[in-house]
Amino acid sequence: MARLFAEAPGYLTAKEVYEGLESRHSGLSFDTVYRNLRVLEELGVLEQFHFEDGIKFRIGCFTHNHNHHHHHLICLSCDRIYPLEFCPMPYVAELPDHFRVVRHKFEIYGYCSECAT
């Protein structure tokens, strides 16, 4: 599965991973593939991204150790991701309903300097 991601140019959906592996491993179920994706994500090998058309996975940006908390700048044109060390969470003033935060997601979508020109 890791090789599939290494060969992929950008993001892969769970379905694409499944289709890619199915040809090499017969009898593989979609559930197994999905479970493996979750495990790899928890290990920090893969990172999960939410797009309008669904959840996609790709190899993590590996700038620091696996569990280092970071966010992403995501280029909509070339699919590149840039790690963002800044976390806006401490700056979120007051949450309604005394909501207690356990985890959060914060991704910025746009165009990198190469694509913006």
Binding site for Zn ion (CB under 5 A): 47, 61, 75, 77-78, 87, 89, 112, 115
| CA 55 to each of CA 7, 18, 49, 58, 102: distance values in angstroms, whole numbers, following the listed order | 19, 14, 6, 10, 21
Residue 109 CB, shortest distance to Zn ion, in Å, is: 11
Q: Which is nearer to Zn ion, 19 or 83 (CB)?
A: 83
- How many angstroms separate the CA atoms of 81 and 32, rounded? 27
Residue 14 CB, shortest distance to Zn ion, in Å, is: 19
Q: Which is nearer to Zn ion, 31 or 95 (CB)?
A: 95
Residue 61 CB, shortest distance to Zn ion, in Å, is: 4
Please report the sign of the dihedral spanned by the C-alpha atoms of residue 117, residue 114, residue 84, residue 17.
positive
